[in-house]
Structure 1
Amino acid sequence: MEYMFRVSRHSISKIVLETSKALYKSLQPDYLKVPSTADEWQKLAKAFKDRRTSENAFGILATRWRLFRKPIALHPTKVKELTKAACALHNFLRTETLSRQIYTPCSLIDQEDVVTGQVTEGAWRGEPEALLAPIRADHDRNPTAVAKRVKEEFKTHFLTNGAVNWQDRVLLTHANTEEK
């Protein structure tokens, strides 16, 4: 700075000091406040944990859904819809017992020891390709019992709680075009 602005070191040190004090004074009440009670400490810890949770959530989405691994060449509204769809499907897969064990095993997600606060990082932080389950050839083309149960879970979900108001209309339209 001394050479760029032709200002003496002494003046620069005063500018930096005054700027730092002004920044501290304006940021301190909201961002640098030291909690005085145990309740305030717990609220602060929860706020930081919530921030880590969003990082985990996006990391898991990127691990499971390849489209989030690089920039998406679509209009932002479409990207927003894709993100919502991925979140909805993620939540569905997490609610069903069988699919949860396959889709997000315990080792995938970050774990926090509630007593010590120590975080054990999940496998999602590693190489994403290493997390993909190996696919074995099934020569007789018959689905496994697990695949059949997952299919039934999907069917039940999309015919009950996961149903959308337009799905029957689209299915009927599609069926009518195939008949012609």
Structure 2
Amino acid sequence: MREAISPAKRLAVTLRCLATGETFSSLSYSFRISRHAISEIILEVCKAIYTVLKGNFLKIPSTEEEWHTIAKRFEDVWQFPKCIGALDGKHVVVQSPDNSGSYYHNYKGTDSIVLMALVDADLQFIYVDVGTNGRVSDGGVWNKTTLCQALMGNKLHIPPPSPLPGRIKPVPIVVVADAAFSLKNHLIKPYPENQLNSESRVFNYRLSRARRCVENAFGVLANRMRVFRAPIALSPKKVEHIVLASTVLHNFLRRQKTGRALYTPATLTDREDLGAGDVLPGQWCVEPAPSSMLQLRAMGSNNYATNAKAVREEYRDYFSTNGAVSWQQMFH
């Protein structure tokens, strides 16, 4: 019998695939393993990586103290209090399965599955949902996730409503998102362009500043995991395992003291020059956008409850009074 492929070699093949985006044929020549075996190895190892690492590196907080820690970090780093995450999603372009028709067709006319993610202030994924077919409206993908249902059903043990610093009116813990989502009590998004005055412009800037976490997280993921630079020629189910393994590896590398600077050097992500009022784009912004990761469309409804509108207005007033920073006028 021939010698079995060692675990170390299996891991090396998988990491090479994720990091470079090499085809199975190219990997076959490099590692002297058949293309068929490589396809099986990568799937098995991705499943194992996610299973082993998710418990420590990709889990939703389960106590108020853990949520407070995330919110405190957003307040310290991004000056956005009572925020427990930045939300966004991407269409990951895949190979359509046989006889699937238009089930996976997205608004660009390609086939995709949606990666929905909640990211903390340090560009780490708190929660990911992957696998919804690209045909589902982008705003509706979030409503289908287990996190959305748990958040709206008050099942996440998040802290109760309390006033913003220096304010009186209690507001709930919030998630920041863009125009692709609907305004909710726990989810706030920017004001439409046709409703902007000085205060709402400041609010939009401060919101987009906090949202930069999730934009940079996706940018780093696509820059370092080059498998996302081009459409992935695999079935949706196989791509799901690749995406999950990539996100948990991203968190693992972001938390390593010795490897973090190598994985995400300072020039890779956006930086701010507060003195000049400029945002210096990271390296991931300079490169052409990955053709395998498409942005969600702005389809969020403008119909929302009065309570949700009041929460956004309280944040708007806070950022123009108690929570104002000296440099916000330069940016907005």
TM-score using structure 1 length: 0.44
More strand by share: 2
Select the structure of larger CA radius of gyration.
1
More helix by share: 1
